[in-house]
Structure 1
Amino acid sequence: MSAFLCFCSGATMDVKVKFTLSLLEKDGKISNPNSKTTTAKFKPVGYTWGWDKFIDKSKLQELLSRNDDCFTIKCVLTVIKDHHTEDVSTVVVPVPQSDLPAHFVNMLKDGQGMDVTFSVGDQLFRAHRYVLAARSPVFKAELFGQMKETTMECIKIEDMEPAIFEPLLHFIYTDNLPNNCDVDQNVALQHLLVAADRYGLDRLKAICEEKLCQKIDVQTVATTLALAEQHHTVQLKNACLRYLSLQDVLRAVKKTDGFKHLTTSCPSIMMDILDKVAPSSEV
Structure 2
Amino acid sequence: MTTTTSNLNNSSSKSINETVNGSHNFTVRGYSLAKGMGPGKYICSDIFTVGGYDWAVYFYPDGKNVEDSSVYVSVFIALASEGTDVRALFELTLLDQSGKGKHKVHSHFDRALEGGPYTLKYRGSMWGYKRFFRRATLETSDYLRDDCLSMHCTVGVVRNRVEGPKLYNIPIPPPDIGQGLKDLFDSQLGCDIAFQVGDENFKAHKLILAARSPVFRAMFFGLVGDTSMDKVALEDIEPSIFKDMLLFIYTDELPDLQEYSCSTSTCSSAVTLHHLLAASDRFGLDRLKQLCEAKLCEEVTVETVATTLSLADQHRCSHLKAICLKFAAAHLGEVMQSEGFKYLEESCQSLLSELLETVASVDDKGGQTVASKRSGSSIIGIAVAAEGSAAVDSGIPNGRRTRRRL
TM-score (normalised: structure 2): 0.46
In the alignment, which residue of structure 1 is the partner of 2:187? 110
In the alignment, which residue of structure 2 is the partner of 1:75? none
Residues in 1 aligned to 2:277 and 2:188: alpha-carbon distance in whole angstroms: 27
Residues in 2 aligned to 1:186 and 1:147: alpha-carbon distance in whole angstroms: 36
Structure 1 residues 267, 89: closer, same or farther in 2, change over 3 A? farther
Deviation track 1:174-228 (CA, whole Å, cap 9, x = no partner) reads 1002447746622111011100111111111111112211221111111110001
Read off the aligned partner of 2:176 and give its amino acid letter. D
Read off the aligned partner of 2:306 and give its amino acid letter. A
Structure 1 residues 211, 129: closer, same or farther in 2, change over 3 A? same
Find the residue that maps to 1:200 and give its secondary structure: coil
* Identical columns (%): 42
For the Cα contact (< 8 Å) 2:220–2:229, is it kept in 1?
yes
Find the residue that maps to 1:152 and give its secondary structure: coil
Structure 1 position 252 matched with structure 2 position 329: no
Residues in 1 aligned to 2:171 and 2:319: alpha-carbon distance in whole angstroms: 39
Residues in 2 aligned to 1:152 and 1:132: alpha-carbon distance in whole angstroms: 14
In the alignment, which residue of structure 2 is the partner of 1:222? 306
Structure 1 position 152 matched with structure 2 position 222: no
Structure 1 position 264 matched with structure 2 position 346: yes
Structure 1 residues 245, 149: closer, same or farther in 2, change over 3 A? same
Higher strand share: 2
Unaligned runs of 5+ in 2: 1-13, 18-159, 261-267, 372-381, 383-406
Structure 1 residues 86, 168: closer, same or farther in 2, change over 3 A? same
Residues in 2 aligned to 1:119 and 1:181: alpha-carbon distance in whole angstroms: 27
In the alignment, which residue of structure 1 is the partner of 2:282? 198
In the alignment, which residue of structure 2 is the partner of 1:4? none
Residues in 2 aligned to 1:90 and 1:265: alpha-carbon distance in whole angstroms: 70
In the alignment, which residue of structure 1 is the partner of 2:33? none
Find the residue that maps to 2:174 and give its secondary structure: coil
1:271 Cα deviation (Å)?
2.2
1:256 Cα deviation (Å)?
2.1
In the alignment, which residue of structure 2 is the partner of 1:243? 327
In the alignment, which residue of structure 2 is the partner of 1:275? 357
Say which of 287, 291, 307 aligns to 1:207. Answer: 291
Structure 1 residues 11, 173: closer, same or farther in 2, change over 3 A? closer
Structure 1 position 188 matched with structure 2 position 272: yes
For the Cα contact (< 8 Å) 1:226–1:265, is it kept in 2?
no
- With 271-280 and 228-237 compared, the bigger mean Cα shift is at 271-280
State how 1:1-283 maps to structure 2 within 5 Å: 87=162, 91=166, 94-148=171-225, 152-179=229-256, 182=259, 185-246=269-330, 249-278=331-360, 279=363, 280-281=368-369, 282=371, 283=382
1:257 Cα deviation (Å)?
2.3
1:230 Cα deviation (Å)?
0.5
Higher helix share: 1
Unaligned runs of 5+ in 1: 1-9, 14-84
RMSD: 2.8
TM-score (normalised: structure 1): 0.64
For the Cα contact (< 8 Å) 2:307–2:340, is it kept in 1?
yes
Bigger Cα Rg: 1
